Homo-oligomer: A and B are copies of this chain.
Amino acid sequence: MVEERSPMDKNVVYIGKKPTMNYVLAVVTQFNNGEKNVILKARGQSISKAVDIEEIVKNRFIKDLKYDVRISTEKIKGEDRESNVSSIEIMLKK
């Protein structure tokens, strides 16, 4: 499973297995550093965590936060076959 990241991705936060508050801190830090948009990206079971992070940032840190959600399907190559996994992008706007 290859994570595709480019130098353009500095305002993208990829949600994985770390504790939720680590990602919340990453998002709040980016906004405090002047970013106007931060994008949360998550796949599979991490999608629920991405939604939690959006809610915590909005309810506890940045009151006027707006969001826009896109859902898509990615193909993940396993050892012998491809499988589909849902993914979510939550664009956060200050």
**Smallest Cβ distance from A66 to chain B, in angstroms?**
11
Report chain B residues within 8 Å CB of A21.
none
A44 to B50, CA, bound (A): 11
Report the count of interface residues on A (CB-CB < 8 A): 19
**Smallest Cβ distance from A39 to chain B, in angstroms?**
15
A90 to B47, CA, bound (A): 14
**Smallest Cβ distance from A57 to chain B, in angstroms?**
11
Report chain B residues within 8 Å CB of A72.
55
Q: List 8 A-B contacts (CB under 8 A).
A: A45-B45, A47-B47, A47-B48, A51-B86, A52-B86, A54-B71, A55-B71, A71-B90
